[in-house]
Amino acid sequence: MIGNLSHIAIAVPDLDAAINQYENIFGAFVSTPSDLPSHGVRIAMVKLPNTTIELITPLGKTSPLKNFLKKNPEGGIHHLCYEVLNISKARDTLIAAGLRVIGDGVPTPGYHGNPVLFFHPKDCLGALIELEEIGLLKDHERHTHPIQPVHSSSPSESFRGTESIGISFDVDFKNKTPEDNGERE
């Protein structure tokens, strides 16, 4: 029923500091932060060759992350998100198996605009689980927030990525033309 791991979410008390660590210390590619008011979070995505990390921090006075960070002031892993083809069917199957959905059970748009739901960690081996409906769309069709560097002149001068079909690529920000990169037409 569940598909690929969409992302691992890490709650952080200071999003700018977390972005700095992933971008400047770890050398990862980090998106420009986006607000998701319906979920009470501000998000930046860290794109790695084999997965995505979602850095999240509270947004607004009623953010559900405030309690998590009160218990974990340094931050920590908040949830795992899995892709599903049909979120209503997945929800009904999991509820029938005894899992509790958080909230009213009605999916809401997540970061990519796709419907999402969360399941209680007490029913999921201690982990908060998010399901994200991807339907039958291809990866490039479902991402409404393209991954972009946080800074236009990133100190991370190159990054390595992997597309969902398994094609690996390298981008070098130091060299401006294909000839500079040793490529020939």
DSSP per-residue letters across 137-178: --HHHH-SS----SSTT-S--EEEEE-TTS-EEEEESS--ST
Query: In this structure, which topology does domain 5-172 adopt according to CATH?
Result: 2,3-Dihydroxybiphenyl 1,2-Dioxygenase; domain 1 (3.10.180)
pLDDT number for residue 104: 96
CA–CA distance, 28 with 22 (Å, rounded to integer): 5
H or E segment at 118? strand 115-119
CA–CA distance, 133 with 137 (Å, rounded to integer): 10
Percentage of the chain exceeding pLDDT 90: 68
Residues 6 or more apart whose Cβ sits within 8 Å of residue 107:
87, 88, 91, 115, 116, 117, 133
What is the domain partition of the chain in residue ranges? 5-172
DSSP per-residue letters across 89-103: HHHHHHHHTTPPEES
Placement of tokens 């509820």 in the chain: 95
Catalytic site includes residue 130: yes
CA–CA distance, 99 with 93 (Å, rounded to integer): 9
Q: What is the pLDDT of residues 88-97, one digit of tens each?
A: 999 999 999 9
Threshold 0.75, pTM exceeds: no
pLDDT number for residue 137: 53
Among candidate residues 23, 54, 83, 130, the one labeled active-site is 130
Q: Give the chain's length.
A: 185
> Which residues of the chain carry a pLDDT beneath 50?
138, 140-178, 180-181, 183-185
Instruction: Answer yes or no: are the C-beta atoms of 160 and 48 closer than 8 Å.
Output: no
pLDDT number for residue 136: 62
